[in-house]
Structure 1
Amino acid sequence: MKSLLACLALMIAGIATALFIGFHDHTGNKEIVYDDDQEGLQDQIVFKFSHVVAENTPKGLAANKFADLVNEKSGGKIKIEVFPNGSLYSDIEEIEALQNGDVQFIAPSTSKLGMLSPEWGVLDLPYAFTDYDAAKKGLNGSIGTQLFDSLKKNQLKGLAYWTNGFKQITTNQGPVKTPDDLKGQDLRIMQSDVIEDQFKLLGAIPHQESFNSTFQLLENNVVDGEENTISNIYSKKFYNVQDYLTISSHGYLGYAVMTDEHFWKAQTPETKRILTEAMKETTEWNETYAEQMNKEQLEEIKKNSAIHIYELSDKEKKEWMKRLDPVYRQYEPIFGRKLIKELLELRKDS
C-alpha cells in the first residue's frame, strides 16, 4: 500500500512539473543564445542582425563588415549572425521583433521609423539632402541627434546612420524627364506618407508595398514603376523588368542601425566597447563605399542592360524642387519649423 501511495505521489509531482513548464510565461526578454559548437559550452555569445536587402548592397555589406569586426575585436567570443533578404523578418516585422527580443540589431530605412515618431518623415522630404556631404553633415549633427532622441520613448537605441544613396525613378511608361511625365503612373513606394504625398502632388498613383515584393509587382505589371537607389535597382535586377531609368536623385535612402535599450543595458562594459568600436569603423567605411558602389553599379547597368537612362540636369532638378516644395509647407506643422529650417540650410550650403 505504501509503495502504491509513493508511486501516485511521484506521478502527481511529475504532472505538476510538466504543467508548470508548459504554461510558463515566455513573453519576457529573450535569453541570449550561446553557440554550443565552440570548444566550451557558452564560450561564444550570438547576436542576430536582421535586414531585408541583398548582401551586395551598401547595407548588406556593412552588416557583414560589422559582424567581421565584432568577431575580430572579441577574439571570436561574440558572433553577429546576419540574416539578409528578409529571410528572418520583413521590413514591416523587424521593429517588433527587435522590441520582443527576437533579434538584437536591425537597420530599417529611416522611412519605416515614422510609425514610431513622425519626425523621421523629415528625411523623406523631396531633395532633403542634395548630396552625400549634406546627408553626412545632417545625420551626424543636430538632425540625426534629434531623430535618435525620439526613439527613447519606445525603449530603442540608435547606434549609427548608414547610407544607401539617392533614389532614382524606373518605369515602363516612357522616359521621365519632367514632373508631368509621372501623371497617371502607378508607382511602388516605401511605407511613407510623405513619399506618397509628394508623388500624388505630381499626379502619380503611389502604392506603399514592401521592398521584397517589388520585383514581382513590376514583373506582373501590377505597377508601372518604382523609386530606388542604383544599388537596389542593380542587386534586385529591377532593370530587367523596367524600360526607363531617370537619374533624378530626388530622395535620400538611409538606414538607422538600432538595438533595444533593455538589451544594451544588459551588456557588459567590454561588450559595449567592442560593439561601439565595430559600429564606428563600419559606419566610416559605409559613408565612403556607398557612393562608390552606386557609381560602379550604374556603369554595370549601362553595360549589361537595355534600359534607357536619362539624367536630370541641375536646371531640371531645380524645376522638380520647385514643383515639390509644397510638401515642405504641408509637413511643417508635423515636423516642426526647426527641423525643416535645418534641412533647407543644408540645401543652401551644398
Structure 2
Amino acid sequence: MGCRKIKKGMILTALMFGGIIGLSGCGKKQDDQLSVRIAHDNNVNTPLHKAFVKYEELVEERSGGKIDVILLPGAQMGSVQDTFEQCRRGDIEMSGSTTSNFTQAIPEFAALESFYMFDDSAHAKRVFESEAGEELMKPLERMDLVGIGYMELGFRNFSNSKHPITKAEDQKNLKIRGYNPIQIKAWESLGVNTTSVSWNELFTSLQQKMIDGQECATNSFYTEKFYEAQDYWSLTKHVFTNFLWYANKEFMESISEEQRTILLECAEEAIDYNWKLADEAEEEALKKLEEEGVQVNEVDVQERRKMGEIINEAIKGDIVSLCGEETYNMLMDAVEEQREK
C-alpha cells in the first residue's frame, strides 16, 4: 500500500535525525484512516514476526483497508525498554516482549519466573488465556498500557557434554552458566554448579570444557551452533518464555468500537497462529539437531514436576517478595487447574 510506504519513509527519516520526533499522532484518524504501528525486537524470520504479518493481513482485509498496520521489527525503534516507553507515551500504538524484561516496572510479572510451571506449550497457552492470565495483564494499566494477549517464544532446555538428563540426579555436579540470582539459586538447589559466563563467551567456554553445559531455547542452541560442543540436548522445558503483546491505553480507548473489535478479534487469530508456528519451528529445530548428531531426549513429565517442586521451593521466597503472595498463588492455582492430570 502506497500510504504505508510513505509512513515508513517518515519513520526512517525521523530515526536518521536521532528520534521519533514528528511521529506522535500518526495513530489517530486521518481522513478515516487509522494507522497502528507495532514495534518489536524479533527478526523477520521468527514465528512471532510471521504472526504479526498475519495480523497485518487480517486487519487490513477486515477493515477494508481503513486500518493500516505498520510493522517495525528487528529493534528498528530501539530496545524493548525503548518501545515500552514509546508505547506508554503514545509515540507508537503497540509493542511487546517477554514479561521477564518488565519485572522491575511491573513486579507482578515476577510470578512467571517460576520454573517447571508448564507441562507443554498447550498447558502454557491454557494458563495464559485463563482468568489468571488476564489478571496478570491488568497492572499494565498503571503504565498507561493494556494487554492484547500472550504469544509464544518457547521453552528453555538443558544441554551438556556428559550424559542425557532424565531426572534431577543427572544434573548434580554439572557446571553450567549462571546469569541471574534466581536462576543460580534454582539450579544450585538441584546440585548444579554455576559460574558467571557472558552469552558472547558461552560457545568458547563450552568448547574448551570450562563448563559442562548450559540452558537456552532450542532455536538458540541450533543457531549459535552449541551442538558443536555439546552432545546432549534434554527437553527439560524448565522455563517458558512468553511474549506479552500490549497497546497504548489511550489509543485503544479513543478508537471506535468497530475498530477496536477488528483489532482485538484479529489479534486472537494472530496469537493462535503464532503458537502453532512456534511449535512447528521447535519440531523443525529438533530434527536439525538430530541430523547434526545431537542426542535429543524427552524428560518424563513426572520427573520434571519433581524437579519443579525442589527448585520452586528454593526460589519461591525471592519471587513472592517481588510479585506478592496473592499474585503468586493466583498463578499457581491456575497452573494446577489447567494441568491435564
Aligned pair partner of 1:301 in 286, 289, 306: 289
- Answer whether contact 1:127 1:321 (CA < 8 A) is retained: yes
Residue aligned with 2:25, SS: coil
1:196–1:31: structure 2 CA closer, same or farther, 3 Å change rule? Answer: farther
Query: Does the alignment pair 1:32 with 2:26?
Result: yes
- Answer whether contact 2:151 2:245 (CA < 8 A) is retained: yes
- Answer whether contact 2:123 2:339 (CA < 8 A) is retained: no
Residue aligned with 1:86, SS: coil
Q: Which residue of 1 aligns with 2:270?
A: 282
Counterparts of 1:104 and 1:218, CA distance in 2: 37
- 1:318-337 equivalences under 5 Å are 318-327=305-314, 329-330=316-317, 331-332=319-320, 334-337=323-326
TM-score, normalising length: structure 2: 0.76
* The structure with more radius of gyration: 1
- 1:163-312 equivalences under 5 Å are 163-170=152-159, 174-175=162-163, 177=165, 179=168, 180-181=171-172, 183-187=174-178, 194-202=182-190, 203-205=192-194, 214=199, 216-219=200-203, 221=205, 226-234=214-222, 236-239=223-226, 242-243=229-230, 244-303=232-291, 305-312=292-299
Query: Does the alignment pair 1:313 with 2:300?
Result: yes
Residue aligned with 2:97, SS: coil
How far apart are 1:195 and its partner, in Å?
3.8
- Answer whether contact 1:126 1:250 (CA < 8 A) is retained: yes
- 1:93-112 equivalences under 5 Å are 93-112=82-101
Residue aligned with 2:117, SS: coil
- Answer whether contact 1:66 1:282 (CA < 8 A) is retained: yes
Residue aligned with 1:151, SS: helix
Q: Percent identity?
A: 19
Q: Which residue of 2 aligns with 1:58?
A: 47
Number of positions where the alignment pairs a residue of Structure 1 with one of Structure 2? 309
Counterparts of 1:79 and 1:182, CA distance in 2: 55
TM-score, normalising length: structure 1: 0.74
Counterparts of 2:193 and 2:24, CA distance in 1: 44
Q: Which amino acid aligns with 1:185?
A: I
Q: Which amino acid aligns with 2:255?
A: Q
Residue aligned with 1:56, SS: coil
Counterparts of 1:229 and 1:130, CA distance in 2: 16
5+ residue gaps, structure 2, are 1-19
5+ residue gaps, structure 1, are 1-25, 35-40
How far apart are 1:259 and its partner, in Å?
0.8
Task: Please report the RMSD computed on the Cα atoms of aligned residues, expressed in angstroms.
Answer: 3.5
How far apart are 1:264 and its partner, in Å?
1.7
